[in-house]
A and B are shown apart, each in its own frame.
Chain A
Amino acid sequence: DTGVSQDPRHKITKRGQNVTFRCDPISEHNRLYWYRQTLGQGPEFLTYFQNEAQLEKSRLLSDRFSAERPKGSFSTLEIQRTEQGDSAMYLCASSPGQGREQYFGPGTRLTVT
């Protein structure tokens, strides 16, 4: 078990471009979360998957954000038409069950220029 991995670790993109991030959770974890973290703040919930089903999505997310978890394994987070305000660290976490702790990946740092 190598933990939660995320790819890429860093992404620099120009405003208006689309970006996609990948998260590979711990294999036996059926719960997967995406968060956004800005400097000096705690992680902000974006969306949650249980297996392949997306069960909750933050109202803070605009329609430019979409996430998938095909076959209940890895997940992708896509941001379309990026804006400078999207610059942040995007964290993925997985959990083995309700009430259990989350295991975080190293994050993808997005910079929109």
Chain B
Amino acid sequence: AQTVTQSQPEMSVQEAETVTLSCTYDTSESDYYLFWYKQPPSRQMILVIRQEAYKQQNATENRFSVNFQKAAKSFSLKISDSQLGDAAMYFCASLSSGTYKYIFGTGTRLKVLA
């Protein structure tokens, strides 16, 4: 069975600094996809970044990048130059190829301090 674990319930970062959110996952599949989603307070969830497991290169989207360690089954999110608008819940999710079910972690609440 797929599992996704986010061990940091809450993180804080100073504005303009860098923060890394952790995520580990477990799957028996060799082909899968990993995602980070952001859920701002009282707003809908949006995609931050997506990684295909067969790609060794880490995905990047502007200030957001991942550190994908396939052997360790680790998928951390790095946010550079943190902004006040980055404050949100961040969810890590996985999807194994050939299945329909996305599995989400319990989330990390990110606070950005001015």
Residues of A whose CB lies within 8 Å of any CB of B are 4, 31, 33, 40-45, 48, 50, 55-56, 91, 93, 98-99, 101-107
Contacts and interface: CB of A to CB of B under 8 A. Distances in A.
B42 to A, nearest CB: 9
B106 to A, nearest CB: 5
Interface residues of B, number: 23
Interface of B: 4, 33, 35, 37, 43-47, 50, 52, 91, 93, 95, 97, 100-107
Contact of B107 (A42, A48, A101): A42
Contacts of A105: 44
Chain B residues touching A, majority SS: strand
A19 B29 CA distance: 38
B100 A42 contact: no
A56 to B, nearest CB: 5
Given A101-B50, A107-B44, A40 B106 contact: yes
B45 A104 contact: yes
Contacts of B95: 99
B50 to A, nearest CB: 5
B104 A42 contact: yes
Contacts of B106: 40-42
A86 to B, nearest CB: 19
Q: Which 10 A-B pairs have the closest CB atoms?
A: A42-B104, A104-B45, A101-B47, A48-B100, A106-B44, A99-B33, A104-B44, A43-B104, A42-B91, A45-B101
